[in-house]
């Protein structure tokens, strides 16, 4: 499944019982609009957070508040009995999400830039040492992206290390993911990239037939051979023309 487009509006309130901020408490509220297109599958989610844990949530697909802690359950029950508060929360999907999603979609998401993906080998397998592959995505926008690995079409969940999205300083981003694995005969290793600029996930297969260094040597060698043939042919043509213009004088 491709990455959902995400619009996030955040309202954060800090409460501190001490003078030092590091010793205080944190209360936050994050409202999100999730959508797959400007006119359908739009979901409004309102999270109430205490010390990084969601204790109450409103999801427009559920239509009421849900509590996740003892205090959250009590508050959710009370809020669900308040028709005005419940009606106001249910209206957010139309008032906030549907009114803003089209603007963001038209002005941001449709201007997405596709990543340039490169898949190469960092280390060949040898003895007890596994091979290491790197899948890199360059020059993409917006920032949200997912890079994952497939082994014979199935997701790989272990031996994977990925970087965060790194800003290039020119509105574009890059990301790198490493896979450590022991090659097996006949298997297929692939890198899957999901981004808002793609209509569907893009899969890039690794070709282990030749190491990248060897492929480069072949390309360079072939180029040199072609150049040598051209130079030799030009020399022969020049020699024949010069020879044809000579007059042999007998001694």
Question: For the domain 5-110, what is the CATH code?
Answer: 3.10.320.10
pLDDT in tens, 73-123: 999 999 999 999 999 999 988 888 888 887 777 776 667 899 999 999 988
Place of tokens 């024949």: 240
How many CB atoms sit inside 10 A of residue 151's CB? 14
**Using an 8 Å Cβ cutoff, are 17 and 27 in contact?**
no
The CA-atom distances, in angstroms, between 197 and each of 108, 132, 134, 141, 144 are 11, 28, 22, 8, 10
Q: For residue 14, what are the contacts with CB-CB under 8 A and spacing of at least 6?
A: 21, 24, 26, 27
Full-model pTM: 0.46
Give dist(CA 4, CA 175) in Å, integer: 19
Kindly indicate the confidence band of residue 220, based on its pLDDT and cuts at 50, 70 and 90. Answer: low
The CATH number of the domain covering residues in 112-205: 2.60.40.10
Domain boundaries, the chain: 5-110, 112-205
């Amino acid at each position: 499944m491709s990455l959902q487009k995400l619009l996030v509006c955040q309202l954060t309130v800090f409460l501190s019982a001490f003078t030092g901020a590091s010793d205080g408490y944190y209360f936050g509220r994050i409202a999100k609009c999730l959508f797959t297109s400007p006119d359908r599958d739009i979901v409004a989610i309102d999270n109430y957070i205490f010390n990084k844990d969601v204790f109450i949530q409103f999801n427009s697909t559920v239509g009421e508040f849900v509590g996740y802690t003892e205090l959250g359950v009590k508050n959710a029950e009370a809020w669900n009995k308040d028709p005005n508060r419940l009606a106001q929360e249910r209206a957010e999907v139309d008032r906030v999400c549907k009114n803003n999603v089209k603007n963001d979609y038209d002005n941001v998401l449709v201007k997405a830039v596709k990543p340039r993906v490169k898949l190469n080998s960092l280390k060949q397998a040898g003895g007890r040492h596994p091979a290491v592959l790197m899948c890199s995505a360059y020059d993409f926008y917006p920032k949200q992206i997912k890079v994952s690995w497939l082994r014979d079409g199935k997701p790989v969940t272990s031996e994977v290390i990925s970087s965060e999205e790194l800003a290039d300083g020119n509105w574009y981003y890059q990301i790198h993911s490493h896979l450590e694995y022991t090659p097996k005969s006949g298997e297929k290793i692939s890198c899957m990239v999901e981004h808002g600029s793609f209509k569907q996930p893009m899969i890039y297969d690794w070709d282990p037939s030749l190491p990248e260094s060897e492929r480069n040597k072949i390309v360079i060698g072939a180029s040199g051979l072609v150049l040598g043939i051209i130079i030799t042919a030009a020399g022969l043509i020049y020699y024949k023309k010069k020879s044809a213009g000579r007059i042999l004088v007998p001694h």
